[in-house]
Chain A
Amino acid sequence: SQKIEQNSEALNIQEGKTATLTCNYTNYSPAYLQWYRQDPGRGPVFLLLIRENEKEKRKERLKVTFDTTLKQSLFHITASQPADSATYLCALDNNAGNMLTFGGGTRLMVKP
């Protein structure tokens, strides 16, 4: 069965550094992958979508890569700020309409 893995341990980094989060998947060939941010007690907020034929996508301080050979996506936040502290979820389409399957999320803590 399809499986999506994100590092369940919190990632703690210093303000100004680049945060890198990983999303790995198996038994799966998604057409696209999305990253969301979720703050405690709130619904997820869409950040970026990257398609299977795209290697990299950027949006302001965010960068996402998608390696379909490694079955991995990396999510980078450059010049991180304490306000970036949140849980980040990757989600993959399951080749059935617009349905998404979510990873467990990685909590990012940016310390001033």
Chain B
Amino acid sequence: GAVVSQHPSWVICKSGTSVKIECRSLDFQATTMFWYRQFPKQSLMLMATSNEGSKATYEQGVEKDKFLINHASLTLSTLTVTSAHPEDSSFYICSASGAAETQYFGPGTRLLVL
């Protein structure tokens, strides 16, 4: 149990385009979903927290207009990187949390912006 999927697993796009990443909890209802970013050889940095049906809470320094998060249902959250630039290239990982404290992570999405 507690499986979280992400799609796509990797994406290459041109600078200026927008990219949408989906995060799904497959076998449980996720009241809260989290989006992280991880640069090479660094730890996970929380970008935002989202609860189903409400606006996401962004961490300091994360532009909410650039990283659009939607959590429309208890099993799906999306992160859209708008007008992506090369500095947005990173490994994006989502996690989902249900009633317990544990976060279950997706496999990650590697984004490369050319």
Contact = CB atoms under 8 A, between A and B. Distances in A.
Interface of A: 32, 34, 36, 41-46, 49, 89, 91, 93, 97-105
Contacts, number: 53
B102 interface: yes
A86 to B, nearest CB: 14
Nearest to A107: B41
The 5 closest A-B pairs by CB, nearest first: A43-B105, A98-B97, A104-B43, A43-B108, A102-B44
Q: What is the size category of the interface that chain B forms with chain A?
A: 20 to 34
Interface in B42-81: 42-44, 46, 49
Contacts of A105: 43
26 contacts: A32-B101, A36-B105, A41-B108, A42-B108, A43-B6, A43-B93, A43-B105, A43-B106, A43-B108, A44-B93, A44-B105, A46-B2, A46-B103, A46-B104, A46-B105, A89-B43, A89-B44, A93-B101, A97-B49, A98-B101, A99-B34, A99-B46, A100-B46, A102-B44, A104-B43, A105-B43
Contact of A34 (B4, B91, B102, B110): B102
A101 B93 CA distance: 14
A99 B106 CA distance: 16
A44 B45 CA distance: 13
A104 B42 CA distance: 6
A34 B102 CA distance: 8
A34 B108 CA distance: 20
A29 B44 CA distance: 21
A49 B102 contact: yes
Given A34-B102, A98-B32, A100-B46, 20 more contacts: A34-B101, A41-B91, A41-B108, A42-B107, A43-B93, A43-B95, A43-B105, A43-B107, A44-B44, A44-B95, A44-B105, A46-B2, A46-B105, A49-B102, A89-B44, A97-B32, A97-B49, A98-B103, A99-B49, A102-B44
Interface of B: 2, 4, 6, 32, 34, 42-44, 46, 49, 91, 93, 95, 97, 101-108, 110
B45 to A, nearest CB: 8
